[in-house]
Amino acid sequence: MGAHPVPAANEVGCASDEPIATLIRHWFPLWTPPAGNARWLKTRCPFHDEAHASASISYEYQAFRCHGCGVKGDIIGLIREREELAFGAAQRRAEEILGGSYKPVPRESARVTRRRAFGEPRTVGSERAGPGRQVPPWLR
């Protein structure tokens, strides 16, 4: 792979602390993460040898995309592709590599439907009965 100079601590700022940058530097220690606060920052792709910046990295979305070789994904996606792991194994690998800096996206709670299945009785307080009113027997 291409040899990229290792940045000084004051040159990068907090970019090297970002989980996506830490992951890529795990595989490519000489890669220099770009500094900045834009949504997407241009950088050289460490996955293929090149002379110009053809990739973008987002610290906001924790994602990477190379427009030259097509490597793209978030932390889990990159681990799954590069190390050929299933989703659960990739999550565990991310925790190994990133330690405490990896915070998975929380799952949404299961949605509770307000519809009744065929044959289910209505409950007291349903929208038709209103709060505190009795449900007539023919609607149960």
Placement of tokens 């000084």 in the chain: 8
Placement of tokens 């989980």 in the chain: 19
Residue 65 pairs in a beta bridge with 56, 72
Domains of the chain: 9-101 (3.90.580.10)
Give the list of residues 6+ apart from residue 5 with CB closer than 8 angstroms, or none: 30, 32
Global pTM value: 0.61
Dihedral sign from CA coordinates of 33, 35, 40, 42: negative
Q: Which long-range contacts (CB under 8 A, 24 or more apart) does 63-67 make?
A: 63/20, 64/20, 64/24
The tens-digit pLDDT sequence of the chain (140 residues) is 444 444 443 344 467 788 999 999 999 999 989 998 889 999 999 999 888 899 999 998 999 999 999 999 999 999 999 999 999 899 889 999 998 766 665 555 566 666 767 777 766 555 554 555 666 677 66
